[in-house]
Structure formats: C-alpha cells, structure tokens
A = this chain, B = another copy of it.
Amino acid sequence: MASKAIAIVAGVGPGTGASVARKFAAAYPVVLMARNPSNYESLVEEINKSGGKAMGISTDVSSPEDMKKAFGQIEQEYKGAPIAAAVFNASGRFVRKPLLDMSVEDIGASWEVSCKGAFLFAQHTLPSLLKHAEDSSAKYPPTLIFTGATASVKANALMSSFATAKFAMRALSTSIAKEFAPKGVHVAHAVIDGVIDIPRTKEWLKDMPPEAKIGADDIAETYWNLHLQSKRCFTNEIDIRPMLEKW
C-alpha cells in the first residue's frame, strides 16, 4: 500500500508560506521549512491541534548539507512517502542599491536562496513527486510551485540583486517543467506582482484600501487550485496582483 502523500513548504514565515501550509494541511501532512524555528513553531502547533499533522524543520535551503539533513528527517518521519505538493516560497536577502555600491556578496546573496535553494529543493522533492505521479491512487498530479515576484519578469534600476536571482528561478522552473511534465509532475511559477499583506508590510500603502495589497490566504487558494489541475490542464505560469495594482 502506498504511504500517505505529504506536502512540503519551504520558506514559511508569517505570510504566504504560513497560508499555503495551512491550506495544504487540510489535505496532507505538511512539513514546514524555515531557517528560524520561530517562523513555524506556533503554526506547527496550530495545525497539529486543529486536526492536521505538521512538522517543522529548521534549515537553510541554500545549504546542501542542511537540505540533505532536512530531507533525511522527513524520510525518517514519513518513510517512503510520496510528495503530493512541494512549494518553494523562500526568498533570500536582497539589497536595493546602486550597482557601484554593491558588493560581490550582494549580487550572490539572493541567488543563493532563489536559485541554488530552489534547485536543491527541486532535487530533493522530485524523486518523491515522481513517485506520486506513478501512484494510481493519487488524487491530483504532484505539484511543484515556485513563488516568484515582479522582479522575475522586470529588472528595474537598483534591483539587480533580486532580479538576477528571480529571473534565474523562473528559468529553473520552466526548465524543470519541460523535463518533468511528461513524467506527470505539474510545475508552476507564480509571479506575485504586488505587495503581500503581511506584518512586515503593515505600514506600506496604509492610506489605501485593503484591495491595494495581495492577500496571503488568497495566494494559498490559488496555489491549491493549481494543485487541483489535471494532467490534461497544467498551468505553468500565473501572475497575481491585487485589484488596485498599477502594472
């Protein structure tokens, strides 16, 4: 009998990651990854108390060693479990700086997470996503989602640190989609084009109505709906913006 499939969310903070975790926890045991345990501890508790099943893992997605260890823990907990959904929502440090003021670290910092981290996440999840694709009892095609941003498609002045990393992640997502779709894995890239309404952005756009920001729970709904898509209807890229966004 096939083990029960799980979902994994990397980059869980108080915003999109938490909403996505809550949403997918209604259907699957979820694994939450964040560098800082304080980012997932209360959420793990909340999910476990409300009838779901969650575990948190402290890991730096850009570290091959950390990731190996993290997925070892998952294997220990969910031996041989296929992955129904894997969401890469981590974002690295980035600077908004004139090019001549940037350091070598600045150009690489964002890439470490958005490209190398996304690559490591894909490598660790794809074998189990493929396993789910072959499981005839699977309800929905296994889904691998990458959270992008405006900077995934627009490279503005002073934004080279973030944009180079996000353009790279978008390329990674597309390349993986083309390689793994024929094997049944649904890969999608979301261009989150606007400010997400999270504690950190509380003071932003504060004179505007709520529709000026993107709802984190709403993103989670959209990600869930991507997961529901059948093998005969894969969406590989969507954009998301609030109704009051200028674009």
A residues near B (Cβ < 8 Å) are 64, 98-100, 102, 104, 107-108, 111, 115-116, 119-120, 122-123, 126-127, 141, 151, 155-160, 163-176, 178-182, 184, 186, 197, 210-211, 213-215, 218-219, 221-222, 225, 228-247
Partner among B99, B237, B246 whose Cβ is within 8 Å of the Cβ of A126: B99
Known contacts A168-B111, A175-B160; is A236 also within 8 Å of B233 by CB?
A: no
Cβ–Cβ contact A240 & B235, under 8 A: yes
**Residues in chain B near residue A64, CB distance under 8 A:** 104
Copies of this chain, count: 4
20 contacts between A and B (CB under 8 A): A100-B127, A104-B119, A141-B243, A155-B170, A155-B171, A156-B175, A160-B172, A163-B172, A164-B169, A164-B175, A167-B167, A167-B170, A210-B232, A214-B233, A222-B233, A231-B242, A232-B243, A233-B242, A234-B240, A237-B237
Question: Nearest Cβ distance between residue A184 and chain B, in whole angstroms?
Answer: 6
> Main secondary structure on chain A at its contact with chain B?
helix
**Residues in chain B near residue A230, CB distance under 8 A:** 215, 218, 221
Cβ–Cβ contact A108 & B116, under 8 A: yes
Cβ–Cβ contact B179 & A99, under 8 A: yes
Known contacts A160-B171, A218-B229; is A178 also within 8 Å of B247 by CB?
A: yes
Question: Nearest Cβ distance between residue A130 and chain B, in whole angstroms?
Answer: 9
* Alpha-carbon gap, A174 to B171, bound state (A): 16
* Alpha-carbon gap, A245 to B157, bound state (A): 13
Known contacts A126-B100, A235-B240, A243-B231; is A168 also within 8 Å of B179 by CB?
A: no
